[in-house]
Chains A and B, each alone.
Chain A
Amino acid sequence: MKQLRFHYYMEIRFDIPVHDHHFTLRCLPKEDDSQINEELNYEVRPYCDLCRGTDAFGNEMLYGSCREPHKLFLADVYGIVQTGCGERISETASEYIYRYQTLQTAPGVQIRGFYKELEQDFLRETDAPEQKDVTGMAVFFMHRLNKRFQYRSGITLIDTTAEEAFEKGMGVCQDYAHIFLSLLRLARIPCRYVSGMMTGEGFSHAWVEIRTPEGWIGLDPTNDRIVGDDYIRIAKGRDYKDCLINRGIFKGCVGTAFQEQMIRVEVKEIGEKTDGND
């Protein structure tokens, strides 16, 4: 069990004023069996009527509309989250929807080939029957994917599919997660995309959860490890698109307004020594 102080800051700057800006933010940590918000503060600018809701995947949403012209849009969220509070069994959300591939996870020839290879190796290399359960198989896939795929930013885009990323052989956490989901769904293991934060990183992060008889278990293919209490979950869904931190549409003057997005994430364990730069 850990107490994590987090700060999530996002701003978008437009080069010309935009108006009728509708937004939905999924940036509030969601409370569940093992994660509790001890303190939660949020602010959105420009000021507008802000509403809160929950989507079908159980994610907390902040939404509203800024109708007046503005050039800066920002969301500032900070607080304290207690993680690792217990098993996550009680969640009732349907697991059916997490068994099916989406547009972004649908496997092509490359991923199917990789899956065949993994499946055979798994059966051959794993003798112990206790490792042949769902978790054992998923962890085996994760190790192999982590070896096969390389971390590099700037190669893939937010709408890159699992198959496209796998063909390139490198990408970011979103791509690791999509390929992993694609493989797990080929193996008929219910699994979902999770976006969130972890200690020590300056960015938002993404990983995967699989459904086991013991509940949902988090696996982080980018770091090749089982998700622990140094992670804060924000949103979950079938793929990246269900977990968009900021979904927005707006009207500008001519054509599409140019925008620049900046995100800053900080997660620190309370009691942990700071590096003195604060």
Chain B
Amino acid sequence: MDNRELFKNSDSVNELLARYGVKFGIYKDHVFHEQLFPFDMIPRIIPADEFAYLEKGLKQRVMALNLFIKDIYHEKKIIRDGVVPEEFVFSGSGYLACCDQIMPQKEIYSHISGIDLVQAKDGTWYVLEDNLRIPSGASYPMIARDLCRKCEPQIFRDIHPEDNRNYAKYLRETMDYVNTGGHTVILTPGRYNAAYFEHSYLAEQTGAHLANGHELIVENDHLYFIDYSGKKERVGAVYRRISDDFLDPMTFRENSLIGIPHIFDIYRKGNVAILNAPGNGVADDKGIYYFVPQMIRYYLGEEAILNNAPTYLPYYKNDMKYVLEHFDDLVLKDVAEAGGYGVVFGYKLSKQEKEDFLRMLKEEPRRFIAQEVIDFLDINIMEKGELVPRKADLRAFVLMGKEPVVWKSGLTRFSRNPDSFIVNSSQGGGFKDTWVLSQ
């Protein structure tokens, strides 16, 4: 493909994205900044057979993660059998004691999963992170594709990527599958949230109501949406885009103003479905990531199809020894942090910083994981009219309804800083569309 064809309209597509409000908000020093999420017109292209491999691996992974969460909140067999040490589960921030013994509709805990992958220079794909709580990002390639098709219809006549506009249909099916009777709502904290564009876009595309906590009330053990005329409408499924902590002030943070009082009580009774299930963060803790290949073996009796990045747990003596000996070659991650925060590259630390860090590591080994730095495959982006290579990852989306479905697209995020491996949008990165070739 001649890349230049695509760039001709790069500016107009970015202008349209800005006009549609494709933005990403971040809080820095407690001040809300809204910035455009820079879009690079050159798509990441994944051949059909390569994506088929990813698809198989992603389905396997998400099925195992779901079984793990169900086990942790019920029988806890994987712990009794000594596969996962109990302190990694019960003292992790993702574990919520109040979810014990709750069985969500259809036994699904992670309806919408965002799995972050990277490809190394040798072509091997690695899973870097599982995001099961409220992963965002699907809306960006959706709208970007739509606008690109309008600006450059010719290209889509020559190349045949899988159509990615079916995400809304999959999402709707996922929500309907668990709905307990009534309307479907996307619950947003409001426009000062980083992903507000996505909330409103997904509501529009799926035909769900976009609502905030004030528009929803619990009465007589059921959830109702109050419409503009004051009429109450029963709600059966809530795709919540607020974290567990803020979901219900009667169970979680008392000072949450964006939640719905008592929603957790009726969820426990099975009177409303919540997507994704509260407490499912127990499986996407960075410390738990280490154990995913073991989980796949334990629950499915299969070997993991997708690789984990080589990871060490300083919690284990041997791993700690390795980490101390190879500190400069490793990247260390604080298991409690997300969004690219709490990530430390060993070789970048000064002598003093290193000493401080090592002290912390030895005091609280459970808090960190260490990973080999993967030499990412660079992807070209267009900058000031020139092609430049940048680090990029891929967030693939897996939707769990009756069967797991992998969306044949994904959010490719890249770092705009040539020396950085961190691609998170909250750290100022940009995005690309992901084209999965149909043949």
Contact = CB atoms under 8 A, between A and B. Distances in A.
A94 interface: yes
A233 interface: no
Interface string B193-236: 00000000000000000000000011111000000000000000
A61 B265 contact: yes
Interface stretch (A96-104, A135-143, A173-181): A96-104
Given A22-B261, A24-B250, A51 B220 contact: yes
Interface string A26-68: 0000000000000000000000010101011100010101000
B269 interface: yes
A203 to B, nearest CB: 24
Contact of A56 (B89, B98, B221, B262): B98
B90 interface: yes
A61 B264 CA distance: 13
A22 B250 contact: yes
Majority DSSP secondary structure for residues of A touching B:
mixed
Interface of B: 76, 79, 86-87, 89-91, 97-102, 217-221, 249-250, 254, 261-262, 265, 268-269
Given A63-B262, A97-B90, A247-B250, A49 B97 contact: no
A94 B100 CA distance: 8
B268 to A, nearest CB: 7
B262 A49 contact: no
Nearest to B102: A56
From B79, B265, B269, residue with most partner A Cβ within 10 Å = B265
B220 A49 contact: yes
Contacts of B90: 96-97, 99-100
A249 interface: yes
Contacts of B87: 100
Interface string A1-35: 00000000000000000000010100000000000
A186 to B, nearest CB: 14
Nearest to A247: B250
25 contacts: A22-B250, A22-B261, A49-B219, A49-B220, A51-B221, A51-B262, A55-B98, A55-B268, A56-B97, A56-B101, A61-B265, A63-B262, A63-B265, A65-B217, A65-B219, A65-B261, A65-B262, A93-B100, A96-B79, A100-B87, A247-B254, A249-B249, A249-B250, A249-B254, A249-B261
Task: Give the interface size class of chain A.
Answer: 20 to 34
Nearest to B87: A100
A236 interface: no
A205 interface: no
Contact of B99 (A49, A56, A61, A242): A56
Contacts of A55: 98, 268
A65 B254 CA distance: 15
Contact of A100 (B91, B101, B218, B249): B91
Contact of B262 (A22, A97, A99): A22
A249 B90 CA distance: 29
B76 A53 contact: no
Contacts of B249: 22, 249
Q: Which 6 A-B pairs have the closest CB atoms?
A: A22-B261, A56-B100, A56-B98, A97-B97, A49-B220, A51-B221
